[in-house]
Chain A
């Protein structure tokens, strides 16, 4: 049973470019979460999605960031016109519906903006 799959593992973008981060949840999991980790810090909640539905995006910056989880295919976190401050590790996590079990995290995408 494959875990949460994220790709790419590492992504380098120049300032002003777009970054697209992908996440496939564990099989049977219908809830996807995105968290951001800055160096030497804990993870910070960004957005919570179910299929075709954004449940809570209260942690997402209002501009340049968007997320989706289409009916088919992986969840995508999109960052437009990246800036140096966007450099971080972005983790996706998934969980089944209606459960108390902990989130299962992917290995993360490390974004570097040059």
Chain B
């Protein structure tokens, strides 16, 4: 059974600081997604990582994938308050089927 684990689950940080969220998964997969969810809202797609060594950046967020280590990271640079949200990683259970297994989520709070 595919398991996806994120850490930390809660993260409170000051504006301007850098931090990394980790996502480990238990079985082979070559497709990993990062989503953002604001309270009471839907999920917004941030990144799709499709191959080993993939790195994608958008603004202050950068995601990477190491399929050999079964690890993805989401790095936040010089955090700003607007990035406060819950971040989920998700892995495809079956290639191409979009049956996703989600991590528990990391609730990120950025304090001014």
Residues of A bordering B, CB below 8 Å: 31, 33, 35, 40-45, 48, 56, 58-59, 91, 93, 95, 100-108
User: Residue-by-residue, is B21-43 near A (CB-CB < 8 Å gives 1, otherwise 0)?
Assistant: 00000000001010100000111
Given contacts A100-B48, A105-B42, contact A43 B33 (CB under 8 A): no
Given contacts A56-B99, A95-B98, A100-B50, contact A106 B42 (CB under 8 A): yes
Q: Is the CB of A41 within 8 A of B100?
A: no
A22 CA to B32 CA, complexed, in Å: 28
Residues of B bordering A, CB below 8 Å: 4, 31, 33, 35, 41-45, 48, 50, 88, 90, 93, 96-105
Q: How many A-B residue pairs have CB under 8 A?
A: 56
Q: What are the nearest 6 A-B pairs in CB distance?
A: A42-B102, A102-B45, A105-B43, A105-B42, A107-B42, A43-B102
Q: Residues of B contacting A95 with CB < 8 Å?
A: 98
Q: Is the CB of A100 within 8 A of B43?
A: no
Q: Is the CB of B101 within 8 A of A45?
A: yes
Q: Residues of B contacting A91 with CB < 8 Å?
A: 42-43
A3 CA to B38 CA, complexed, in Å: 17
B67: min CB distance to chain A, Å: 16
Given contacts A42-B90, A100-B48, A105-B43, 16 further A-B contacts (CB under 8 A): A33-B99, A41-B104, A43-B43, A45-B99, A45-B100, A48-B98, A56-B97, A91-B42, A91-B43, A102-B33, A102-B48, A103-B45, A103-B100, A104-B45, A105-B42, A107-B41
